[in-house]
Structure 1
Amino acid sequence: MPNTPHSAPSLWDISPPVYVGMPVFPGDTPYQQQWVASIGPGCPVNVASITSTPHAGAHADAPLHYAPDGATIGQVDLAPYLGRCRVVHAIGCGPLIEWQHIAHAMGNDLPERVLVRTYQQMPQTQWDAGLTGYAAETVERLAALGVRLIGIDTASIDPADSKALPSHQTIRRHDMRVLENLVLDAVPEGDYELIALPLKLVQADASPVRAVLRALPGTYNQATA
């Protein structure tokens, strides 16, 4: 029996857990945590110290990540990371998201934000060297439709072994923004409100985000069917 709109989730947490031992891009700085203060006699609080790549977990790349003169993540406009978005499924599409894999969801009133799910189940405990990226041509076509931010459930919008990073260079040319390492396993195709604000790290090339999707008022799509 179909769920009613009232029985569907109103908030989807699309951020993977961040923990010691979590997978990171090979060669990147792993997440580490130490306790520098612990509750006890003479100490009223617990305080941790962390060392990590800013690309840990769900994260936003800054233009500085792929352009030597690019803006840091603390300098970019926050508007692209907040607002209506469309989740599109291209599960098992292969090494690249081609236009044919997402064309079915590119209808009228396309939001400025598009997130693509490629995994049936995102691998949260191991590195995937065969991760799916975007084809640069797909990014070009999304930019032409007015898309300002693209997201993906893998660690990169380019294949892991890419040196030219054509999709990163395409978003650089179009001044687009990107979210990577999202967990979209439980999210049906449809439109949502995206909230994924990066930290104001004024010298960094990326920032972790706590990415969530919120049901849009009055929306009835596959998320509520």
Structure 2
Amino acid sequence: MTDSSANLDRFNALAAEWDDSPLRAGIARAVAAAIADALPLHKDMQALEYGCGTGLVSVLLADQLGRIVAADVADQMLAVLEQKRLAAGLDHIETRRLDLTLDPLPIERFDLVFSSMTLHHIDDVPRLLGRLRDVLVPGGWLALADLDREDGGFHGPDVPGIFHLGFERAQLMNTLTGLGLTAVSARTAHTVEKSSPAGEPRRFPIFLICGQLP
């Protein structure tokens, strides 16, 4: 079994209890708030969330956006989101299985593409970012939230599918600039506090980096 397939199996296995984690819920609230504060959201915006999981961020932004395509590779995560979407009457959220490392680009183009805590699970990040740029309309925004560079303490040694121990903000911003995005900016969206195996407090900042396609 490859690291990627083990990671997919893990996400599918955890889907039913994913939303029960206060840590994950806190990250989602902070990322959604940071996106809403950083970007001019409005209800005519067509949005794509890539790596949506159970849709924690999409649901929080649903009242501020138009149609949202919530995409992920984990079928069970999408099934949980589909149940939440139906229960809440969020008819403008569409769940979709989509792997932009393998699949063709969707035919739609979006005013906003956002992703939260997904990039560190992607082997070839520059290629994915290029594909996310390619589904933006002119003037559309890309918003990326993930971990600052860290030493592996956030996930620990036994979690599969971790290709990157966070990212250097400047390097990621340079990648977006190289892809032709402008108004590239970064901020700290959230800081996760966890304890080390020895009980020592650890702090893991999560950034939000945004850029606009001219």
TM over 0.5: no
In the superposition, the TM-score normalised over structure 1's length comes to 0.30
Q: Relative to total residues, which structure has the larger helix share, 1 or 2? A: 2
In the superposition, the TM-score normalised over structure 2's length comes to 0.31
CA radius of gyration, larger in: 1
Structure with more relative contact order (C-alpha pairs < 8 Å, separation 6 or more): 1
